Structure 1
């Protein structure tokens, strides 16, 4: 075993919605565990600068009023989150993110929205790595399993404890536990060095996206599923170029 018994930093967000290009971060957590050291946790509550839709509040319980009264200025919080993740990755600590494509793209767009240097740009060669995405790994090892692939359901399938859905800290910790479990259940994955594991997920995420796209195109010839992982790089033609 290598990475499953080492230090891991899990990252999760709660948001104003499900559009990683235009929605905003409302809460975020980084939970660092393993490696024979004491767990550490950092939480942020943000004032996203826009109203939090009722549907989002129903998910995470954070209202517009609470965010405005207690939340940190978003540029300040996004700066601190990005600096912390940069420091961990520079130290060789892998970043565990369930459905990384969403959270890490959202963080990238938040940085750009506030004229901050995005996480990937801060890292050597502009590579946001190493990342461990239990969702990508779960789909890789059991591609034909029926049922939901939401975090709580994947945790239930692998008998991993989840202390409460839709709390950034609880979801981050559950993702770390899930990564640990998958690395032990599949020792060949657990024995991989972090960067080959990262590259394997890049390949598998693209394959998974292509498979889903082919399925969707049976009914909709224009269906598109983004293959990029662990985040969607910003381009001049990216959806975030349009006004929110």
Structure 2
């Protein structure tokens, strides 16, 4: 019996200048489509228009000089990325992204920054359906201790990444593989539609953000940004080296 896991699915990931989706810029992005007809992959390298901090370059390996020499004009690249995602949402193809609210929020703000219509403007409504293995893991494996970064989920679900993590196409492929492993571990997921799972994940984010906000307030740290799959407002961060907004 086939299910939504058989596709089509569209994996999405970005690498950026920092961890603030309202102020930082996209450096690279990848979209990986999987379905009955096989796999298709598109990768973009952008000139972000601002220097790439050394701490960000140390993570994804893209320097300011490399992006300036080899990257696309950001407006052109962003228009292409937006068009691909818009087509997927219009077809109700699930967009699969780890920590999806970061990637989708930074894309929306980048489209806006460059005078392009946002996805929500074009759709006239919310971005649905989105499947986020981070939120699925928080809900399905809530009793498990430890971090939930992408590499942690790869280890937990037995996903062998094919390449260097923190490379957009490798991360997008690993995210799709984690989703498949989660369905194998929890086959009941296929009994729910992607739209139903989308709403369930939104509830998971609200509950997690409320609890995490209480925990962080005790140490004077800002709480998580509200809203999923788009953050609804900016949370103060200390820049690219500030990990308070990174998922754990």
Q: Same fold by TM-score, threshold 0.5 exceeded?
A: yes
Counterpart of 2:132 in structure 1 is: 133
How far, CA to CA, are the matches of 1:210 and 1:171 in structure 2? Answer: 28
Contact in 2 for aligned 1:10/1:97 (Cα 8 Å): yes
How far, CA to CA, are the matches of 2:134 and 2:69 in structure 1? Answer: 35
Could you say what secondary structure the match of 2:38 adopts?
coil
Contact in 2 for aligned 1:121/1:127 (Cα 8 Å): no
Counterpart of 1:198 in structure 2 is: 198
How far, CA to CA, are the matches of 1:196 and 1:121 in structure 2? Answer: 23
How far, CA to CA, are the matches of 1:45 and 1:109 in structure 2? Answer: 18
Q: Any residues of structure 2 matched to 1:111-122 within 5 Å, and which?
A: 111-122=111-122
Name the Cα RMSD after superposition.
1.6
Counterpart of 1:92 in structure 2 is: 92
Pairwise CA distance, 1:120: 1.7
Q: Any residues of structure 2 matched to 1:43-192 within 5 Å, and which?
A: 43-123=43-123, 125-163=124-162, 164-192=164-192
C-alpha deviations, 1:135-192, integer Å up to 9, x for none?
Answer: 0000111113122211011111011121221110000000011111112211222221
Counterpart of 2:241 in structure 1 is: none
Counterpart of 2:12 in structure 1 is: 11
How far, CA to CA, are the matches of 2:219 and 2:53 in structure 1? Answer: 31
How far, CA to CA, are the matches of 2:182 and 2:26 in structure 1? Answer: 28
Provide runs of 4+ in structure 1 moved above 4 Å. none
Unaligned stretches of 5+ in structure 1? none
How far, CA to CA, are the matches of 1:79 and 1:87 in structure 2? Answer: 12
User: Cα gap change, 1:219/1:52 in structure 2, threshold over 3 Å: closer, same or farther?
Assistant: closer
How far, CA to CA, are the matches of 1:200 and 1:107 in structure 2? Answer: 23
Pairwise CA distance, 1:66: 1.1
Could you say what secondary structure the match of 2:230 adopts?
coil
Contact in 2 for aligned 1:183/1:190 (Cα 8 Å): yes
How far, CA to CA, are the matches of 1:192 and 1:171 in structure 2? Answer: 25
Pairwise CA distance, 1:89: 1.6
How far, CA to CA, are the matches of 1:193 and 1:239 in structure 2? Answer: 32
- TM-score relative to the length of structure 1: 0.91
Instruction: Give the aligned length.
Output: 234
Could you say what secondary structure the match of 1:111 adopts?
helix
Pairwise CA distance, 1:48: 0.5
Check if 1:224 corresponds to 2:227: no
How far, CA to CA, are the matches of 2:218 and 2:17 in structure 1? Answer: 32
Contact in 2 for aligned 1:9/1:88 (Cα 8 Å): yes
